A and B are shown apart, each in its own frame.
Chain A
Amino acid sequence: MASPSFGDGGSLSAQEVLISRLLDKALRQSRAVDTEGLCIVAGEKVWQLRVDVRVLDHEGNIVDCACIAAVAALLHFRRPDVTVLGDDVTVHTVEERNPIPLSVHHIPICVTFAFFDDGAKQVVDPTLLEEQVQEADMTFVINKHGDVCTLSKAGGVAVTVDQVIHCANIAAAKAEDITALVKEALTKHAPPKTDIV
């Protein structure tokens, strides 16, 4: 659906594989979600969390967009409440008890840069046209505290260390802005707290 070059999902193209791996690093390997909190009975029962990302339109920089969507979905999600009494596990329905949000350690945001002019100039959040003529690209997975979870620069033209640090600073600022935007959107669309009748 995203573009004519993406197939129906039979076998992923090289680009699709790279995007999937980057999203995996950003969401799962960064340990953003507290997985210990998903345990119900140690060694026996645990919640499984599944994030489906569907790209609707490809106008450049799918990775950043997909990451924001996934992060917002994880923060918006509410799981059913569970009571454990010894060996007895009760999963309460949404009607019985208010579902509870996931416990999130930090919010990882992807910020991608595209390089031009033999690595001299860079652009944040490249559009489709910019992506197609870029000489190299670099993605930071960074949270608003400035902690870098992933730095991915797979090939392309060489970039100086000063540029990398410069981009990291830009990425940290962008991550702060984007995190604030996501939180604002979530408060606006927060599910109303239903009282138990």
Chain B
Amino acid sequence: MRPFHCSAALLSRSDGSVRFKSGSSAVLCSVFGPIEVKIRDEKLDKATVEVVFKCASGQSTTTERLYERIVRETLEASILTALHPRTLIRITLQVLTDDGGILSTALNAAILALVDAGIPLRSLPAAVTCMMDREGVLFLDPTTVEVEGSQSSHVFVFDDAGEGTLANVSTGAFTMDEYTNCYDQCLSAAATLQSLFRSSIEGKVVREYGPI
């Protein structure tokens, strides 16, 4: 996996903000919530989750709409929306640089930004991308150049609460064995990510409030 880096609390107006960098892919996420919701989007028993995904340059296409939907549905399952009924949680993702694996980078940025904003989550999810190339070699967290030679690519989101996946987007041609292999590799990679997230969040809390 490529080395990743995250910096939190960058934006002064946002409730939570994180810049997540995985190799050369970087995404800035800003979270506002719980804030006022438009009457037509209001849900009586839960918070409404809204995701806006902006690519680095150019107009938004259907790909950005697809990513918005994936991020929204994944995070809606993680956020304890019942604790904030009739409110809005707005997650804005801005791609700074795209060097492959942008969906998982964006998901990780969103997760950490939600923690930075203090939005209650069911568990701490983590997203990983992997791909299989034409020779059957598995690449974890591939770059744009590596993705060009891919036969299939898989994005998994795992949480540390239960078994099973929170989200899975697999495209391309792959066998059942290849899929199981990708699943296992991504599961262990996600566990590493989660422990690194935790230590970085703990570090931030200790810096702000003193030792736990």
Q: What is the interface of chain A, defined by CB distance below 8 A to chain B?
A: 1-4, 8-9, 50, 52, 54, 56-59
Stretch of B50-58, B150-158, B181-189 that contacts chain A? B50-58
> Which residues in A have their C-beta under 8 angstroms from that of B30?
1, 56
Report yes or no: A8 in contact with B28, Cβ–Cβ below 8 A: no
When A and B form their complex, what is the total count of cross-chain residue pairs whose Cβ atoms lie within 8 Å?
A: 35
Q: Is B97 an interface residue (CB 8 A)?
A: no
In the bound complex, CA of A50 to CA of B14 (Å): 28
**Range of interface residues on B (Cβ < 8 Å):** 10 to 19
Report yes or no: B92 in contact with A57, Cβ–Cβ below 8 A: no
Contact of B50 among A3, A4, A8, A54 (CB under 8 A): A8
Contact of B92 among A1, A50, A52 (CB under 8 A): A1
CB of A164 to closest CB in B, whole Å: 32
Report yes or no: A54 in contact with B13, Cβ–Cβ below 8 A: no
Residue of A50, A52, A56 with highest tally of chain B CB at under 10 A: A56
CB of A45 to closest CB in B, whole Å: 20
Closest to A128 in B: B13
Closest to B92 in A: A1
Known contacts A1-B14, A59-B13; 9 further A-B pairs (Cβ under 8 A): A1-B11, A1-B28, A1-B52, A4-B90, A9-B52, A50-B58, A56-B11, A56-B28, A56-B94
Q: Is B63 an interface residue (CB 8 A)?
A: no
Contact of A8 among B11, B57, B90, B94 (CB under 8 A): B90
Main secondary structure of the interface of A (DSSP, over half): loop
User: What are 18 A-B pairs with beta-carbon distances under 8 A?
Assistant: A1-B11, A1-B14, A1-B92, A3-B13, A4-B32, A8-B90, A9-B52, A50-B57, A50-B58, A52-B57, A54-B54, A54-B94, A56-B11, A56-B94, A57-B11, A57-B12, A57-B13, A59-B13
Contact of A4 among B28, B35, B52, B57 (CB under 8 A): B35
Report yes or no: B13 in contact with A2, Cβ–Cβ below 8 A: yes
Q: Which of B13-28 contact A (CB under 8 A)?
A: 13-14, 28
> Which residues in B have their C-beta under 8 angstroms from that of A56?
11, 28, 30, 94
Residue of A1, A2, A9, A54 with highest tally of chain B CB at under 10 A: A1
> Which residues in A have their C-beta under 8 angstroms from that of B58?
50, 52
